[in-house]
Amino acid sequence: MRIATWNVNSITARLPRLLAWLESSGTDVLCVQETKCTEEQFPSDELRELGYESAVHADGRWNGVALVSRVGLDDVVGGLPGGPEYAGAQEPRAVSATCGPVRLWSVYVPNGREITHDHYAYKLKWLGALKDAVAADAAGGRPFAVLGDFNIAPTDDDVWDRAAFEGSTHVTEPERAALAALRETGLSDVVPRPLKYEHPFTYWDYRQLGFPKNRGMRIDLVYGNGAFAGAVKDGYVDREERKGKGASDHAPVVVDLEL
């Protein structure tokens, strides 16, 4: 079973590449982030033609998440139970479902913007709510994973230059502590190391030749419980999908399971 996560940075802009990638990669379930469309605008029909069902949680702004599966979609939950509000509303940043033998969450963790911004405090609250929401499944015996754009580099090795991020979000101790607390529910980073590249980044800024210079970050993660991690046989970052015209600024992260 092949499961992947990909921040597409607008599914409308990325649709031709997304459809081609699904066909060529043989992915069974894709967790999508930053759809930037309404639920009605999501390309469910085009995906259905390839044999995929879709579970979408989106409102048309800069957030939005989805699960795309050709092995079933059951017990779908849109949103983060108990999650905090921002600007008076719960943003569409999480969707979960059972896909065949596994339970999966697709998450788009708030960016945080700046350390002094109220979005940063919101980010930490959101991560705390995520920990509480997944704790029971994480500790259970069914294969379970949380995949997505976490907007946190877990260690200094997960950014191209730690000094370049001094005073910025994504690398602060409170963010990393919140990520560690999430892992303490029974989850672990299941993408194996070492990968093909010394620093398997998943995101490169469009600006200042970020990708050609490999000035990236590893912020797209796959956190699985014991049953999920024990089934993982391989994993990789598909850097090729970051190349060329019309690419997202994130690359897909793929894991193969033997269940």
Q: Model pTM?
A: 0.96
Q: Which of 149, 158, 220, 238 is catalytic?
A: 149
- Give yes or no for residue 194 having a pLDDT over 60: no
> Does 249 show up as a binding residue in the annotation?
yes
Spell out a b/e string for 191-216, using b for 16 or more CB atoms within 10 Å of the CB, else e: beeeeeeeebbbbbeeeeebbeeebb
151 is in an annotated binding site: yes
pLDDT tens by residue, 206-227: 998 999 999 999 999 999 999 9
Give residue 198's pLDDT band: very low, low, confident or very high (50, 70, 90). Answer: low
Q: In this structure, what token pair is assigned to residue 218? A: 């590893």
pLDDT digits (tens, 9 = 90+) for 107-153: 999 999 999 999 999 999 999 999 999 999 999 999 999 999 999 99
Residue 39 reports pLDDT greater than 70: yes
CA distance linking residue 109 with residue 228, whole number of Å: 21
Q: Which domain holds residue 167?
A: 2-257
Active site residue 132: no
How many structural domains are present in the chain?
1
CATH of the domain at 116: 3.60.10.10
Catalytic residue among 28, 52, 57, 108: 108
- Determine if residue 250 is labeled as part of a ligand binding site: yes
3-state secondary structure (DSSP) of residue 216? strand
Alpha helices by DSSP H, 51-210: 118-139, 173-183
